[in-house]
Amino acid sequence: MGRQFRFYILPSDANALVEQLKQQFKAKLLLDYSPAFESLEIDYPFRMNDSGDLKPVSARHRYYLAPPFGHIKREYYPKPDWWVVNSDSDGIEFEGCEFEGNTLLIGRFWYQTNVLVNLQYVSKGAEFLKWAEAVYRYTKKSLRYEPKIYAFVGRDAMSFRERGGQFASMIRPDGRIIPA
């Protein structure tokens, strides 16, 4: 079981949100994979390139927000030779902000409330669940809910859409855009 919501946020929205969560909840931002066992903590999900554009730090556009006290589980995958954060970890999966031309794909904010142990669901620790729920509620309040598309939207993403940008649920392998 888990808690999640969908959102459309631009890289600028994502960086601003991460900054707020770091200040308000002492959240750490981790890449979901690393070439070494140690977690790869980063400051922001997007950084400025030489052209002045915000580009993702992760090619997979997926990160974990972790509490300062949380336990992060990692698994090794020999191909492609990296360590991946396990979703059983005390963390909130934060993914999205992918662009395809003038189209912004949907993202999600998600965390598991329990884990499977010996074929039984066991709740994660009370301290993590309290922290995660507070971060979850704060994040939803920081964004604007758009009932027509059943998703939350960041301030800059809303401006992007008002200037002609398109929100999409997905882009099919044949290139067809499925609009929000």
Query: pLDDT (tens digit, 9 = 90+) per residue, 55-112?
Result: 777 766 789 999 999 888 888 888 878 888 888 899 999 998 787 779 999 999 999 9
Domains in the chain, number: 1
Q: What is the pLDDT of residue 143?
A: 97
What is d(CA 79, CA 137) in angstroms, rounded to the nearest whole number?
37
Mean pLDDT of 168-175: 88
Q: Which residue has the higher pLDDT, 48 or 108?
A: 108
* Structure tokens, 12: 């600028």
**pLDDT higher than threshold 90 for residue 156:** yes
* Structure tokens, 122: 């066991």
Q: What is the pLDDT of residue 71?
A: 85
Mean pLDDT of 42-51: 86
For the chain, give percent helix, strand, coil, nearest 5.
20, 40, 40
Q: What is the pLDDT of residue 2?
A: 87
Give the Cβ contact number of residue 144 at 10 Å: 14
Where in the sequence is the domain holding 125, given as residue range(s)? 2-179
Q: Which helix (H) or strand (E) holds 138?
A: helix 126-142
Q: Which residue has the higher pLDDT, 20 or 50?
A: 20
